[in-house]
A = this chain, B = another copy of it.
């Protein structure tokens, strides 16, 4: 990766590194003053940062309490029965922002397509500051969360923020994405308490359907691009993760995601396997057979033609992977096991960032509880998704997937009925990491953490990133708060206290460096 800062101060960088290596997540970084001045000399230290940082530290308990309240609201967008909680969470967020003097609106998105009995959660938009002489930064986050049940393997109640002795704050949504969203709220509060003016105009766009394909958001952004969002100079999204656990990163690329359901149905109701086993076609047998034809245990996708859609690797790109500060140990630490597929860091990062992958998530309709139930399920629905990369077009992927699955099912000569459909898709995205939006964020990382960030891509998909880029025509930056061990989407999701508090400082510092940047496109 091309260094963003030709002028390096190795001794300081090292001292920053060694300092960091001593941090326990629960202690905030004590940056020595000489280190401060050293930076001021080469990055035009923004004068308001010190009191802002001080205020964040003093308000940290207030900020953690804010996160505790947010986690307590089970705003699960994928489960109908929790829709009311998603709305509650929107109201909570709107109230917090209003109390800090922001102009807040909850914008309705109408009924949920395919589930017309449900209203889509509102987009919470807010404006803080309206000074024509300042840059305007549009920040995005989401206030909905993935499903979570104690039985899924949680050591604590998923919707009660629980902080352990190492400062790990466990709770569904803590890192994905309530922590980062509240980070922006905290930034405003800290500035007000410290009596510091926010150096930019802030536009907030917080949605409630991100974990269910951001239903309805694209149209909203397109419609508001030249209205509510018209002053936007750059976009910042905090909804991904550091590559490791100590070093922050800035992200300029994402994989897309096409999520599919494939159902097989036969009998009118579940059957007793003793009475009917051997005499009737079993949907579960058919489904398992079809699912086994999608991807092999080495991660190779078995759908003919799919890999032909992937952009070839250039020598330039190939050279980038070696410099990323990432090791197989990092992978094993975040996996909690040594079950990585590839032999080295480079191939691992390529598999995560620039090649597609296919994961089978589960089966709906079969017996999923502990115990032993001798049932033949009447209808089973397999769920799987494909992470997409340049230059895979969703329509092309869908056609290959549908054709392959129908062809494999036809081979079974089963009298059962198969259906396969796309639940939702989101396109991949790659941006320019040399834009001032990224330089400002990089300086902020050095200021708060004392290290240069890794410039990374992500395996995950944040479809809205592309939408913002296309709708506003502005540069989009991904500025993560959480670390690689946060277990987003999993049991025991957490956000480290350090990432939340120093992350709040990072978001604020970023805004100050943005204000300093020459306003070029």
* Residues of A that sit less than 8 Å from B by CB: 78-80, 146-147, 152-153, 211-213, 241, 255, 257, 259, 261, 266-282, 284-286, 288-289, 291-292, 295-299, 331, 334-342, 348, 351-352, 355-378, 383, 385, 387, 412-416, 423-424, 458-461, 484, 487-492
Contacts and interface: CB of A to CB of B under 8 A. Distances in A.
A151 to B, nearest CB: 10
Contact of A362 (B340, B360, B377, B484): B377
Given A275-B334, A337-B415, 11 more contacts: A211-B373, A257-B274, A259-B374, A275-B458, A279-B331, A279-B348, A280-B331, A288-B292, A361-B375, A364-B367, A375-B490
User: Which 7 pairs between the two chains have the least Cβ-Cβ distance?
Assistant: A268-B336, A274-B460, A278-B357, A362-B367, A78-B371, A362-B366, A277-B357
Given A276-B459, A289-B292, A414-B297, A361 B374 contact: yes
Nearest to A266: B339
Summarize A's interface: helix, strand, loop or mixed: loop
A211 B374 CA distance: 9
A274 B297 contact: no
A274 B458 contact: yes
13 contacts: A78-B371, A257-B374, A266-B337, A268-B336, A269-B487, A274-B458, A278-B459, A285-B296, A288-B291, A298-B413, A362-B368, A364-B369, A378-B490
A364 B152 CA distance: 10
A270 B158 CA distance: 14
A109 to B, nearest CB: 18
A352 B458 contact: no
- One complex includes copies of this chain to the number of 2
A267 B147 contact: no
A241 B362 contact: no
Contacts of A241: 275
A147 to B, nearest CB: 6
Contact of A286 (B278, B297, B372): B297
Contact of A278 (B80, B351, B363): B351
Contacts of A348: 279
Contacts of A491: 269-270
B267 A359 contact: no
A400 to B, nearest CB: 17
Contacts of A414: 297, 339
